[in-house]
Amino acid sequence: MIDKNIVCGMVDAYLLQIDSREISARLGYETDLDTVKPYLNAVLNSSDCRFAYIKVPLQICESECDFDFAKLNSVSLSRVLRDCNYAYIFAVTLGIDVDRLISKSYITNKSDAIVIDAIASATAEALADYVNTMICKDLATTKRFSPGYADFPLEFQKCLSEKLNLLNSIGISLTDSLMMISRKSITAVIGIKNT
């Protein structure tokens, strides 16, 4: 059963602002959206952009972050969230069909697959930016912070997944090593600053 406070939704992939610099950084060489347009269209056509988020109470005590559903120690995250009593936790995904597109491309043409993978990663970032902007509209918030970054433990991925009921809410599952499936998925915490 999904918590009634979890907000779930879908976004049309063609509404996302894909950053060519993000694609270039992942490829290791400069490109633009016109050059990769056929690959970009393939990714956008395969994307099933979904999101889930919930607002949760938060207490910070030195390096401990106490959410209503879990506690963790992270100097980096506690610094980011120090002026916050609430946070949003959220997840986004492009869906399993993008994973299939990438896997199929690796079988047929590895060079194409590398480009498609880079575009899919940039698209997932664009989706996270879109949802970040949507939920933080008219609020003073912190930057987005994801498990696995700095000293924010990847193990917290499991707590986020359970709190957002990701499998049932937007179809994301976790492997034993805490990697998300579909692979082009992002989870994050955003602090809501006290005003």
- Can you give the pTM of this predicted structure? 0.94
User: 77-101: string of b/e by CB count within 10 Å (b at 16+)?
Assistant: bbebbeebebbbbbbbbbbbebbeb
* DSSP letter string, 68-116: SS-EEE-HHHHHHHTTEEEEEEEEEE--HHHHHHHHHHHHH-HHHHHHH
What does the pLDDT look like over 64-79, one tens digit per residue? 999 999 999 999 999 9
Hey, CA dihedral for 114, 118, 123, 128, is it positive or negative? Answer: positive
CATH 3.40.50.2300 fits 7-193, yes or no: no
Q: What share of the chain is helix, strand, coil (3-state, %, to 5)?
A: 40, 25, 35
Q: Domain spans of the chain?
A: 7-193
CA–CA separation, 100 vs 169, rounded Å?
A: 21
What does the pLDDT look like over 107-121, one tens digit per residue? 999 999 999 999 999
Hey, CA dihedral for 90, 136, 96, 108, is it positive or negative? Answer: negative
Give the angle 182-22-144 at the CA atoms, nearest 5°. Answer: 65
In the three-class reduction of DSSP (H, G, I as helix; E, B as strand; rest coil), residue 12 is classed as coil
Tens digit of each residue's pLDDT, the chain (195 residues): 567 899 999 999 999 999 999 999 999 999 999 999 999 999 999 999 999 999 999 999 999 999 999 999 999 999 999 999 999 999 999 999 999 999 999 999 999 999 999 999 999 999 999 999 999 999 999 999 999 999 999 999 999 999 999 999 999 999 999 999 999 999 999 999 986
